[in-house]
Structure 1
Amino acid sequence: MDNALFSRRRAERFAQLLDEANGGRRHHVRSRDDDRLAPLVTLGRHLGVNPPAAEVDPEFRTGLRAMLLATAAREGIGTPAAARPAEKAASSRGSLLPAVTARRARARGAILIGIAAGAVAVSGISAASENAVPGDALYGMKRGTERAQLALTSSEISRGQLFLDFARTRLAEAATLRSNPSGYSAVLDDMDADTRQGVRLLTGAAAQRSDPAALAAVDAFLTDQRRSLNALEGRGSRTDRARTSESLALLESVADRADAMRAAIACGQELTVTSDTLGPIPAICS
């Protein structure tokens, strides 16, 4: 969506179109933005008549409400006229200014309603995409939701755990693509990339803190992932089996790195500055 869409002029016109769509007074004017705003007006009406049936996460609902209330308080939406001395003083400048101010307030309110409706709609689509696999229409939304989760996570440990969760998800997707060799290999490529990213972040956190606690998530991941991959190893074509073996070899490398990191931390060994795709390379414990 164009960020310039919600400029003041467009926002005011958007509010007028919403009023008209909901049976309000018609404004016998046309704007060059009407064609761009029409789909949003249609979406707003559709969401009002047929709200998304997907269950919204309570935490998302609470966070969205807090954001909207904060924005409303900052913009002065819903504040009684007596509590806005600046607007009261401005009313002496003529009858046109209060009308413009009210229209702008309605525009801000319309934008907030649009944001809320859009957020709920997106959350519903995101929930529906959870079971999507490569080739499905909603698979892009599923991957986009994962990127959003990463963007909202600041802790290195939490990000590492998320990457490992995504690797588990990729493996579950791969199990449904055994009849598609190129698709199977591509999903395992993504799975291995997520594995490396997650392990690199977690081993890096363990090295930085000289604390092996972060490696517990790696151990749990290895247990589940090995079991699931072993179940796929003997199935599929020769190419599929060879590709599965590559991912199992990566897991063995991850296990070796976690053990070496844990041993180095336990004996107080100074970790080297060298690293690779799995994170810091610990020195051998003397």
Structure 2
Amino acid sequence: MDSTLFSRRRAERFAQLLDEANGGRRHHVRSRADDELVRLVAVGRRFSTDPPPAEVDPDFRTGLRAMLLATAEREGIGAPAGVTGQPSTGRGPLLPAATARRARARGAILVGIAAGAVAVSGISAASENAVPGDALYGMKRGTERAQLALTSSDVSRGQLFLGFARTRLGEAAELRGDAVGFDTVLDDMDADTRQGVRLLTGAAAQRSDPAALDAVDTFLDGQRRAVGALADGASRAERDRARRSLALLDAIDRRAAALRAAIACGLPASTGSDALGPTPAGCPR
């Protein structure tokens, strides 16, 4: 028996089960390994929804950060995207579409281990408070790209993007007084917001199920308050920039409400699409 082929088939089936567990399309097939793989999927989802607490020793964090900063300075690593002119607002696919699916399948068995490693990694801990201009900021953004690469369903990816938007907002609070850095981070925040909303509204329209919009509503509740607080005590230019982000959140709120109404009417959920995803049809009176 070709053990390599067997392992590949197990990995591909595991990837399918992960997709289904995360809201992806059901494949309506079954293999002899399903009973074992279903248990592994359950373990992976448990780690994703309720990760084990991991405390990093403060002395270790400080020492590791100093070592990484020294290495980055020596090697010339860490020029942050968006500050040096490199594009930072878009997160294109890391692999061509044809190879991305294959790569996910081959690496699916390692997803649980990799997710845990990212969560407790000392390097991730050392870079979690980095902001644009820090040598470790590129590493922080690289960790985010790795999380996206390990996520298969549109709903999960959309929730990740909204989480990144919250992270960008926290960075903006640290950059008040730095006009260029503040604007750049809020641009990235709005781009992450649009990406996440587009994926979640698209999933809701495709399935004619408003459940994916719950994550959008939860995000809006917290993000509006936080952006409003960011504008308090800021300069006039910073307040104007924050208002643009608030206007985007208002537009998302209207889109989510209209999409819910269209789904409730039993109409086709969309008549087209734009930067926020499907544009819903209006309900007849």
Match in the other structure for 1:157:
155
Quote the residue 2:166 is aligned against: 168
Distance 1:254 1:273 in 2: 17
Report the counterpart of residue 145 of structure 1 in structure 2: 143
Q: Which stretches in structure 1 are left out of the alignment for 5+ residues?
A: 1-51, 55-63, 68-115
1:283 is aligned, of 264, 281, 284, to: 281
Contact 2:205/2:270 (8 A) holds in 1: no
Counterpart residue type for residue 280 of structure 2:
P
C-alpha distance in 2 between matches for 1:185 and 1:211 = 36
CA distance in 2, matches of 1:269, 1:218: 21
The SS at the match of 1:252 is: helix
Looking at structure 2, the residues matched to 232 and 129 of structure 1 have their Cα atoms a distance apart, in angstroms, of: 23
Structure 2 residue identity aligned to 1:205: A
User: Which residues of 2 match residues 196-215 of structure 1 at below 5 A?
Assistant: 196-215=194-213
Q: Answer with 1 or 2: which has the greater Rg.
A: 1
Residue number among 180, 183, 190 corresponding to 1:182 in the alignment: 180
Q: CA deviation at 1:181?
A: 0.9
Q: What amino acid is the match of 1:134? A: P
Residue of structure 1 in register with 2:246 after alignment: 248
TM-score, length basis structure 2? 0.58
Provide the secondary structure at the position in 2 that maps to 1:166: helix
Q: Distance in 1 between matches of 2:282 and 2:220?
A: 23
Partner Cα distance (1:235, 1:276) in 2: 34
Moved over 2 A (4+): none
Q: Distance in 2 between matches of 1:130 and 1:150?
A: 17
Contact 2:270 2:281 in 1 (8 A): yes
Equivalent-residue separation in structure 1 for 2:185 and 2:270 (angstroms): 33
Look up the match of 1:103.
none
Question: Which of residues 226, 231, 234 in structure 2 aligns to 1:233?
Answer: 231
Shift of 1:133: 1.1
Conserved? CA contact 2:271–2:281, under 8 Å: no
**CA deviation after TM superposition for structure 1 residue 270, in Å:** 1.3
Deviation at 1:277, TM superposition (A): 0.5
TM-score normalized with structure 1 length: 0.58
Matched, 1:222 2:220: yes
1:220-279 Cα distance to aligned partner (Å, 9 max, x none): 000000000111223222111110000000000000000000000011011334100100
Listed one character per residue, the Cα deviations across residues 47-79 of structure 1 (whole Å, up to 9, x for unaligned) are xxxxx956xxxxxxxxx9x86xxxxxxxxxxxx
2:196 partner letter:
G
What SS does structure 1 have at the residue aligned with 2:174?
Answer: coil
User: What is the CA distance between 1:135 and its match in structure 2?
Assistant: 1.1
Q: Structure 2 residue aligned with 1:268, among 266, 269, 277?
A: 266
Partner of 1:136: 134
Whole-angstrom CA distance in 1 between matches of 2:271 and 2:136:
42
Q: Percent identity?
A: 70
Residues 7-57 of structure 1: CA distance to partner in whole angstroms, max 9, x if unpaired? xxxxxxxxxxxxxxxxxxxxxxxxxxxxxxxxxxxxxxxxxxxxx956xxx
RMSD, aligned α-carbons: 2.3
Task: For 2:220 and 2:233, locate their aligned partners in 1 and report how far apart those are by CA, in whole Å.
Answer: 21
Where do 1:97-136 residues align within 5 Å?
123-136=121-134
Contact 2:197 2:276 in 1 (8 A): yes
Partner SS, residue 175 of structure 1: helix
Greater RCO, 1 or 2 (C-alpha within 8 Å, sep 6+): 2
Tell me how far 1:123 sits from its aligned partner. Answer: 2.9
Q: Give the AA of the match of 2:275.
A: T
Measured in 2, the distance between the counterparts of 1:262 and 1:238 equals 36
Gaps of 5+ in 2: 1-58, 62-106
Moved more, 228-237 or 218-227: 228-237
Tell me the alpha carbon deviations over residues 158-215 of structure 1, each in whole angstroms, 9 at most, x when there is no partner: 0000000000000010001111011101000000000000000000000011100000
Query: 1: CA distance between counterparts of 2:186 and 2:60?
Result: 33
